Structure 1
Amino acid sequence: MSKSMLYVDFNEMLEPDLVLLSATNDKADINGNKVLLSEGLQVIVYMDDMDDKGNPDNLIAVGVVERNHSSGWSSHVKWCCRIDNDGIRHMSEIRKI
Structure 2
Amino acid sequence: MDFNSLIDKDLVLLSKDDEIEDSSGQKIMLWVGRPVAIYEYNHYENGEKEYLLAEGFAVLNEFQKDPISKWCCRINLNGIDVLIT
**TM-score, L = length of structure 2:** 0.85
Instruction: Name the structure 2 match of 1:80.
Output: 72
Letter in 2 for 1:83: I
- Aligned-partner Cα distance in 2 for 1:71–1:65: 15
Deviation at 1:91, TM superposition (A): 4.2
- Structure 1: which 5+ residue stretches go unaligned? 1-7, 93-97
Instruction: Name the structure 2 match of 1:35.
Output: 28
Deviation at 1:67, TM superposition (A): 0.4
Write out aligned runs for 1:1-97 (5 A).
Answer: 8-50=1-43, 54-72=47-65, 75-91=67-83
Letter in 2 for 1:12: S
- Aligned-partner Cα distance in 2 for 1:31–1:91: 20
| Cα deviations by residue, 1:47-95 (Å, 9 ceiling, x for unpaired) | 01358x63433110010100001225x6131000000111111246xxx
Greater strand share, 1 or 2? Answer: 2
Letter in 1 for 2:70: K
Equivalent pairs, count: 83
Please give the root-mean-square deviation of Cα atoms over the aligned residues, in Å: 1.8
Runs (4+) of structure 1 exceeding 6 A deviation are none
- Structure 2: which 5+ residue stretches go unaligned? none
Higher normalized contact order (CA 8 Å, seq sep 6+, divided by chain length): 2
**TM-score, L = length of structure 1:** 0.76
